[in-house]
Amino acid sequence: MSSNGMTVDAGVDGIVAEFRRWLEQERGLSAATVCCYGKQAAKFLSWLPKPVDSAVRQLDSMQVTSFMVDYCRDRNTSSAKATVTAVRALLRFLHASGQSRVSLAGAVPAVAGWRLASLPRGLDSAVVTRLLEGCDRATVVGRRDYAILMLLVRLGLRGGEVADLRLADVDWRSGEVIIRGKGNRWDRLPLPSDVGESMVAYLTDGRPVCQARTVFCTVRRPYRRLSATAIPAIMGQACCRAGLDRVGAHRLRHTLATEMLRAGASLPQVGQVLRHRSILATSIYAKVDDNALRVLARRWPTGERS
């Protein structure tokens, strides 16, 4: 029995395993995304009649729409959108692998949500300082967590990108670092000296000797690479130490973008640092660029007649 009350059989597990391999090999998605899509796919497949192999072959658009409407009814917009994306990917896979007769991805209803409706919420510089100062760099955990927070703060990395950072990705001689981003994309970024110093402190006095080739590892045996899910937990612990309400690691990415804009950087420059594929992804930050928006403001009508 799965955590959501749906029975999971061997057929579901087999299809999900194939789906995950397809996402990795054909789509080049990150491990965190593959894990998320796999969980959502298992929920949909478990909802189908048994045996699931037969149900997949006879799947129709009415069933797909019915599942999405029922499942997303009590979910928030972000959760519903994640489910929509994962189920669409699953349906494309089922058709591409010959397990379903037609492609039913188009039967998945869209989730209502206005693009650029939300406002990016950065953190105040004093708050960021408290987060960093809360790390006890006299300990191994403190040195590791400080280096992780510095990467989030100064380079605006995603949590999964920090976890995926490998020893071989850091070019100490040229002061650059390779970032393994979304969609199997690699980017080379300059490594600020303060970030490099924080990493050196951890690598030379804290990182365990182990088989993992990633920069950041667990602090208890058996030593292994730090998972992507550990980064939000480290951010949460930093918030607790600083006496702050818990916020996500992505808020530090927003903080970097808003600080760059207020320092005079252009939107394309921000997009380049954040490694956005499209200017649309960066355009949301236009709403926090006070200087650029000020020229668009118009005087409030006074109601006086000329």
Question: 186-231 pLDDT, tens per residue?
Answer: 999 999 999 999 999 999 999 999 999 999 999 999 999 999 889 9
Residue 304 lies in a domain: no
Q: Are residues 130 and 224 in the same domain?
A: yes
Residue 220 lies in a domain: yes
Q: Which of the listed residues 245, 260, 275 is the one where a domain comes to its end?
A: 260
Name the active-site residue from 37, 146, 202, 285. Answer: 285
Q: Are residues 168 and 76 in the same domain?
A: no
Q: Are residues 171 and 249 in the same domain?
A: yes
* Residue range 50-76: mean pLDDT, rounded: 90
Report whether pLDDT(4) > 70: no
43 is annotated as an active-site residue: no
The DSSP string of 259-275 is HHHHTT--HHHHHHHHT
Query: Which one-letter amino acid corresponds to residue 294?
Result: R
Query: In this predicted structure, what is the pLDDT of residue 236?
Result: 95
More confident residue, 297 or 228: 228
H or E segment at 189? strand 186-190
Provide the CATH number for the domain around residue 234: 1.10.443.10
Name the active-site residue from 39, 166, 182, 251. Answer: 182
* Residue range 127-135: mean pLDDT, rounded: 96
Contacts (Cβ under 8 Å, ≥6 apart) of 17: none
Residue 53 lies in a domain: yes
Do 182 and 244 touch, CB atoms closer than 8 A? no
Range of the structural domain that residue 190 is part of: 125-260
Q: Are residues 136 and 39 in the same domain?
A: no
Residue 28 lies in a domain: yes
As a whole-number percent, the residues of the chain with pLDDT over 70 amount to: 87
C-alpha neighbours within 13 Å on the C-beta side of residue 94: 30
Query: In this predicted structure, what is the pLDDT of residue 3?
Result: 39
190 SS3 class? strand
Q: Are residues 215 and 245 in the same domain?
A: yes
Residue 282 lies in a domain: no
Q: Are residues 148 and 99 in the same domain?
A: no
More confident residue, 299 or 126: 126
Report whether pLDDT(8) > 50: no
Q: Are residues 92 and 191 in the same domain?
A: no
Q: Are residues 101 and 19 in the same domain?
A: yes
Q: In what order do the strands lie in the sheet with 176-180?
A: 170-171, 176-180, 186-190
Q: What is the DSSP letter of 176?
A: E
Query: In this predicted structure, what is the pLDDT of residue 1?
Result: 38
Q: Are residues 143 and 248 in the same domain?
A: yes
Query: In this predicted structure, what is the pLDDT of residue 305?
Result: 54
Residue 275 lies in a domain: no
214 SS3 class? strand
Q: Are residues 161 and 206 in the same domain?
A: yes
Name the active-site residue from 27, 166, 224, 250. Answer: 250
More confident residue, 146 or 81: 146
285 is annotated as an active-site residue: yes
Provide the CATH number for the domain around residue 36: 1.10.150
Name the active-site residue from 88, 144, 158, 254. Answer: 158
Do 38 and 19 touch, CB atoms closer than 8 A? yes
Contacts (Cβ under 8 Å, ≥6 apart) of 105: 88, 89, 91, 92, 95
Q: Which of the listed residues 47, 72, 107 is the one where a domain comes to its end?
A: 107
Q: Are residues 130 and 76 in the same domain?
A: no
Q: How many domains does the chain have?
A: 2
Query: In this predicted structure, what is the pLDDT of residue 167?
Result: 97
Query: In this predicted structure, what is the pLDDT of residue 81?
Result: 87
H or E segment at 290? helix 290-294
Q: Which of the listed residues 74, 107, 140 is the one where a domain comes to its end?
A: 107
Q: Are residues 100 and 131 in the same domain?
A: no
276 is annotated as an active-site residue: yes
Report whether pLDDT(2) > 70: no
Reported as a pLDDT band with limits 50, 70 and 90, residue 296 is very low
Residue 201 lies in a domain: yes
Q: What is the DSSP letter of 171?
A: E
Query: In this predicted structure, what is the pLDDT of residue 287?
Result: 62
Sequence length of the chain is 306
182 is annotated as an active-site residue: yes
Query: In this predicted structure, what is the pLDDT of residue 289?
Result: 55
H or E segment at 239? helix 230-241
87 SS3 class? helix
Residue 70 lies in a domain: yes
